[in-house]
A and B are shown apart, each in its own frame.
Chain A
Amino acid sequence: MWESERTFTSYLENNKQFFRNPIIKSFLEQDQNKALVKKAIEEQDAASSKILDYNFEEFYMKVRLIDYTDKLSRHYVKTYDQQKRKKHHELTLDKPFTDENNLSVKDSIPSPHLSMEDLTSYNIEDFLPSEHLKNIYQSFSNKKKRILHLFVFHDLTNIEIASRLNCSPQNVSKLKKKSLTELREGWEFD
Chain B
Amino acid sequence: MNVDKSKITMEVLESMRGRIEHGLRQTEYQNRDDLRQDIFLRVINVADKMEPISFWDFKEKQEKNEKHQKSG
A residues with CB within 8 A of B:
15, 17-18, 21, 23-24, 27, 37, 49-50, 52-58, 60-62, 64-66, 68-70, 72-74, 76-78, 80-81, 84, 119-120, 164
Contact = CB atoms under 8 A, between A and B. Distances in A.
A65 B50 contact: yes
Contacts, number: 104
Given A62-B8, A65-B8, A70 B19 contact: yes
Contact of A69 (B35, B43, B50, B52): B43
B72 to A, nearest CB: 8
Interface string B45-72: 1110010111110110011001001000
B27 to A, nearest CB: 5
A50 B13 contact: no
Interface of B: 1, 3, 5, 8-9, 11-13, 15-16, 19-20, 22-24, 26-28, 31, 34-35, 38-39, 42-43, 45-47, 50, 52-56, 58-59, 62-63, 66, 69
A8 to B, nearest CB: 15
